Amino acid sequence: MRECDVPAGLNSGDELAEFLRSFRASIVNHPEQWKNVKLEQFLEAMATWIRQSSSTDLPDAESWRTLPTILCGGWRTLSF
């Protein structure tokens, strides 16, 4: 399984969108490299990682609403 790293230069919405498209392509084209292929497994793994991570691994408090906002936007938006 290959490592997943956040690109150092990721500083904009466009760069985040490109990262997510690459992320999606990876799971579609190489599911054997992923521990959590199903969405429900992936979301639970995210929650577990957040709970187990140290504060140095996590964003500042004001950033916490960003991820839920993005997830809800994906839920509301039709793609393809």
Neighbouring C-alpha atoms within 13 Å toward the C-beta of 65: 1
Look at residue 74 in the predicted model and tell me its pLDDT.
85
For residue 3, name the pLDDT band (cuts at 50, 70, 90): low
Burial 21-34 (b: 16+ CB within 10 A, else e): eeeeeeeeeeeeeb
Look at residue 11 in the predicted model and tell me its pLDDT.
87
DSSP for residue 65: T
Name the burial class of residue 42, with classes exposed (0-12), middle (13-18) and buried (19+) by CB atoms within 10 angstroms of its CB.
Answer: middle
pLDDT at 10 over 90: no
pLDDT at 15 over 70: yes
Note whether 46 and 34 are within 8 A (CB): no
The pLDDT tens digits for 44-58 are: 999 998 888 877 777
Q: What is the mean pLDDT of residues 51-66?
A: 79
